[in-house]
Structure 1
Amino acid sequence: MGDQFSNLSDDNQSPALLSQAIAQLESGDFQHRWDAAKQLAKMGTIAINPLIAILEDEEADPEVRWFVARTLGQFNSDAVVPALVNLLQTAKITDDASETSLLEMAATALANLGTSAVEPLGALLENEQLKPFATAALAQIRHSETITPLLSVVNDSNPKIRACAIEALGSFHDWRIPPVLVKALNDPSASVRKEAIIGLSRRGDLVAELNLVEQLQPLLWDIRPQVSQQAQIALSRLGTDQAVVALVEQILSTTTPLTVKLNGVRSLCWIETLSAIDQLQHILFTSLDQPTSNPSSFSIHQEIIQGLGRMSKPEAKILASQILVEFLQSQHPSLQIPTIKQLVALSLGQLGNITAFDPLVQLLADSETTVQFHCIAALKQLDSPLNSPSVYERLQQLAQHPNLDPCLKQGIAIALTEW
């Protein structure tokens, strides 16, 4: 940390101002204490010793000591770390919320001091009562020096400590960590399994070496929804053909709950590879249940259509447009529902491919006014300076066609009016 006080005036360093701020901290209400703490942080090293004295006073108000710990965490001084460590070491661990909050703030303040706090925090891991606070503080520092102490608690009996350590370790690329994360996939605690999945999802470089898809696939069927969903997200991040197959298997399973299926579809949409888009098309076209008899089928179609409309890669957008146009021109049972046609129109508009012009124009003849207006909105999105003639001009030309279907003629007229 640099000298954050070098530009302050001498007035901010005055003993009188220091005494005033300390008095306000000790006797004011919460807002006054907040303001006083901010002022003390600006004063620089002159404030450190008086603040440490308050921190070490066990008779002082816990809220005042909380503010003091928070303020000390903003100073880069050799005196601060021992004071905060001493507070933790001498604390009486109770169920009192204010005391617990004070210890948590002391640990957070140590974390704010960075690598200078790693060694003393590592030593605190030997104390069973202080281990949760020390682990949380080490996890916040996010420096490679914390890897060794965090690895020492990954098998702790407390699942909160294990989860905290695994979450932090998952952010580092260190050869010691991947085997620990793989082992944690089978942890009895759902929170630990979830953090292990997140960590491994960042290691696309180890997909083949650790066979990550095969390691993560069983977690798709985890009894805890948060774990299952995280496995879906992880597989979408890895994005391999094997990951696509695993997601599709879960989506098509008759035992998979609808909410899990929908999360799986979203994850599949995020991949945006040829194999993923092919599978989305397959699911969309092969599920031919009547939407009134199978609401889940309708929900899945809805999710796929929206997902196709959110494609961002140029080649994926072209494929998605082709699929939606083909779907719109089919006799698929889902198209009986106006909402589905509205979503197709919106997605085609978002994709912005001019090849969707003719199918969208035909949809202007729909008997549902809401469908027509969604089509008009989509057609406006297709307009681009690169398209000549413009979409509006094309509609004008179509409106002059002598053999136009009356419903379509009326729909085009509405579109031109709304333009």
Structure 2
Amino acid sequence: MLKTLDIIADAVSEANWILVNQQLQQLLEKKNLDSQVVDNSELEQAVAIVMEVMKTGDFQTRWDIAKIFPKIGKPAIAPLLEILEDEYADLEIRWFALRILGEFNEPQIVLSLVKLLEETEEEELAIASARALANIGKPAIAALIELLKEEKSRLLAVKSLAQIRCLEVIEPLLLIVNDNDSVAQVRVTAIEALGSFHQKHLIPVFIQALQDTDCSVRKEAVIALKMRAYLEEEFDLVNHLQPLLYDINSEVCQQAILAMGCMKNEAAIKALFDILKFKNAPLFIKQEAVRALNWSNSFLALDYLKESLYSNDIELSKEIISVLGRQESTEFKSYAAEILIDFVNSEQEVTHQLGIKQVVATSLGELGDLRALTHLEKMSLDEDSKVRLYAKTAIKKLNDK
């Protein structure tokens, strides 16, 4: 055994980190597998050697050697805590000590990490400490709840709790969500974390958060409700989400549109159609609504897309034509092809726009309906070369069916 330690010591002096790692692995394997037990003094020597590697190696070496500590066990904790608590130690080494300590589930580590979280002015260490606490899990929750009481440490405490995905964090997170005096980012993090728990009693919390004064909180609440579309009828989610379709923040609007697309009922589909009729809605919001209507997979949604197709906004019409070409079921494909053929036959001014003709040709080709062949052949003789190309490509797809 001593021979192994001697080899390790020599390798450290020569900065032969590969050999150090190999010999340490052998030492620890003997501890776990051999009948001969590695005693404490030998483990202390191994720890001392590893600590020397931590102090003198480069980043990659430290990264590799960090994997050894959890295998050593409790004897590694004290020297790591000593580094952690040394304000004058190298920042990178303290960061590695934090990362390693997060692999242990020991009360003294939780206390040290909480203390560091409260006192450090180094952002990297604060973040690493929060992650280590989260990695430890349940034993860290009580300490983090205490940190929630202090405004200075509340955000990092919430971020730590948010990474501990167990039911015990729900109650403290609920306290934060209902605290309107807390900074918005705290509430955002709490809502996002609660959104990962599929507990029905949280739905009213998300609904209430839709009224939050901060747009980021509202956005996270919408996302949480979107993931619970199956509860739409029980909690009347469409009615609660509908005002968010016209939120002053465009990201909130977009998430509300996506949520409505997930609901897939008549009320949600009608709400999305109303956006297309709203004159003051920006184009990109209307385009999101078009895509959401298409996800609804219903004939009602296709009817609304058909009604909106004859828009004075060329770009909106192009988006509608494009999504009509993405139908998957045979029935929807047939109806979408019928809508596009009627559109072409209408001979309205919009149908003669080059960009429109190109998209129509592509969508008709995707739908594979042979009723479109006559129209595509006519388009293949168009005066514009791009229209001719798109039409011929679509004809080939139809003939290959």
- Same fold at TM > 0.5: yes
Identity %: 41
Paired amino acid for 2:190: A
Q: Distance in 1 between matches of 2:372 and 2:78?
A: 72
Paired amino acid for 2:66: A
Matching residue within 296, 321, 327 for 1:311:
327
**Is 2:141 the partner of 1:118?**
yes
**Is 2:336 the partner of 1:320?**
yes
1:340 positional shift:
1.4
What SS does the aligned partner of 1:205 have? helix
Q: Which runs of 5+ in 2 are unaligned?
A: 1-23, 30-42
> Which residues of 2 match residues 18-417 of structure 1 at below 5 A?
18-38=47-67, 40=69, 47-76=76-105, 80-89=109-118, 91-92=119-120, 94=121, 99-156=122-179, 157-285=182-310, 287=311, 289=312, 297-382=313-398, 387=401
Q: Distance in 2 between matches of 1:382 and 1:26?
A: 69
1:107 positional shift:
0.8
Q: Distance in 1 between matches of 2:293 and 2:220?
A: 21
- Hey, what does 2:15 align to over in structure 1? none
Q: Is the 8 A contact 2:245 2:254 kept in 1?
A: yes
Query: Please, what TM-score do these two structures have when normalized by structure 2?
Result: 0.82
Label 1:53 to 1:280 Cα distance change in 2 as closer, same or farther (>3 A). Answer: same
Aligned length: 363
Offset from partner CA, 1:292-351 (integer Å, 9 cap, x none):
xxxxx1010011111122233443333222222322333132222222111112222333
What SS does the aligned partner of 2:151 have? coil
Label 1:370 to 1:107 Cα distance change in 2 as closer, same or farther (>3 A). Answer: same
Q: Distance in 1 between matches of 2:258 and 2:226?
A: 8
Offset from partner CA, 1:168-187 (integer Å, 9 cap, x none):
11222223311111111111
Query: Please, what TM-score do these two structures have when normalized by structure 1?
Result: 0.78
Paired amino acid for 1:335: T
Q: Is the 8 A contact 1:63 1:102 kept in 2?
A: no
Q: Distance in 2 between matches of 1:353 and 1:144?
A: 52
Q: Is the 8 A contact 2:70 2:100 kept in 1?
A: yes
Q: Is the 8 A contact 1:22 1:36 kept in 2?
A: no
Paired amino acid for 2:100: T
Offset from partner CA, 1:31-70 (integer Å, 9 cap, x none):
4443443454565555433322211223222332122212
Offset from partner CA, 1:2-23 (integer Å, 9 cap, x none):
xxxxxx9424577666545433
Q: Distance in 2 between matches of 1:373 and 1:38?
A: 59
What SS does the aligned partner of 1:152 have? helix
CA RMSD of aligned residues (A): 2.5
Paired amino acid for 2:110: V
Q: Is the 8 A contact 1:232 1:267 kept in 2?
A: yes
- Hey, what does 1:409 align to over in structure 2? none
User: Which has a greater percent of helix?
Assistant: 2
Offset from partner CA, 1:63-87 (integer Å, 9 cap, x none):
3212221222234556543432333
Q: Distance in 2 between matches of 1:117 and 1:222?
A: 38
Paired amino acid for 2:185: K
Paired amino acid for 2:183: N
1:242 positional shift:
0.8
Q: Distance in 2 between matches of 1:41 and 1:377?
A: 61
Q: Distance in 2 between matches of 1:298 and 1:240?
A: 28
Paired amino acid for 1:73: G
What SS does the aligned partner of 1:281 have? helix
